[in-house]
Amino acid sequence: MDQQPTQYSLSRSILLSLLPGLGITIIYIAISPLILAAGLPLLFALMLAALLGVLVFELGFLLVQARRSPAGPSLLAVIDYKKWVPAWQYVAIPLLFFLWGVLVTGIAPRLETRLGETAFAWLPGWLAAFDPNRIAEFSRPAILATFMVGLVVNGLVAPTIEELYFRGHLLARISRYGAWAPAINVVLFSLYHFWSPWQFASRVVLTLPIAYYAQRKRNVMVPIVCHCSINIVGWILTFGLVSSLM
């Protein structure tokens, strides 16, 4: 039987889940005027904030914990879900997740738009960073720069670190909750995205399967592939829509 990792209290898990999102949001608000003054979309500011946030608050936390680990100063020492799985799962599971994502994102936009126009209408305009119409107002070089930066940050760096942090580390530290642990983890992960609260429900539904997979298989690499793949496809589709509006 696998030894249960050191458990975090629920209050600590909540703080560790939400504080990085708060940090990213503060950085985003702080640099947005500078980015707009440089002739770049708000989405560029969000990508820079996300990059700084995941590196400092999430990867930084993991590295600090690794230095304190009795197993040695290795990042792997604090990534609890790192078991090997058959190679076919690195292809089959992301494909199934992609189909799940198509289903969820096919239903979610109308609900999210309605929520954005009603329940979250009071929120400031800077939260609409992903609005294709707003992005399309900028110059082609600015849009291209945003696309390229976001492809790296939103497509690779951020989802990889987020999965290591949320599924590889934090999920294992609340494993005492059994089948409820992935649900708690995903709810906190969705709340962590302070800059898009109207996507809370769809994000929970979308990411719940990979959290359960991570717990059941004790593997975070397949969820990383899933998360990166869905983000890359979504990013390309978003900028395809932006191009059609230019």
Identify the pLDDT of residue 122: 54
pLDDT digits (tens, 9 = 90+) for 18-36: 999 999 999 999 999 999 9
- Predicted structure pTM score: 0.92
Q: Which residues of the chain have pLDDT under 70?
A: 1-2, 71-72, 108-127
pLDDT of the residue at 108: 64
Quote the distance between the C-alpha of residue 9 and its chain's center.
23
Within its chain, how far is the Cα of 242 from the centroid?
22
Check if the beta carbon of residue 163 is closer than 8 Å to that of residue 223. yes
DSSP string, 68-79: H-TT-S-GGGG-
CB of 211 within 8 A of CB of 171? yes
Confidence (pLDDT) at 103: 87
Cβ–Cβ < 8 Å for 185, 211: yes
Q: DSSP labels for 15-65? A: HHHHHHHHHHHHHHHHHHHHHHHTT--HHHHHHHHHHHHIIIIIIHHHHHH
For 43-88, the pLDDT digits (tens) are 999 999 999 999 999 999 999 999 987 766 788 889 999 999 999 9
Question: What is residue 202's predicted lDDT score, i.e. its pLDDT?
Answer: 87
| 46 in Cβ contact with 154 (< 8 Å) | no
Report pLDDT for 4. Answer: 78
Query: CA–CA separation, 179 vs 27, rounded Å?
Result: 35
pLDDT at residue 114, as a whole number: 63
Domain parsing of the chain, residue ranges: 10-245
pLDDT for 141:
96
pLDDT of residue 73: 77
**Residues in contact with 176: Cβ distance below 8 Å, sequence separation at least 6, in sequence order:** 4, 7
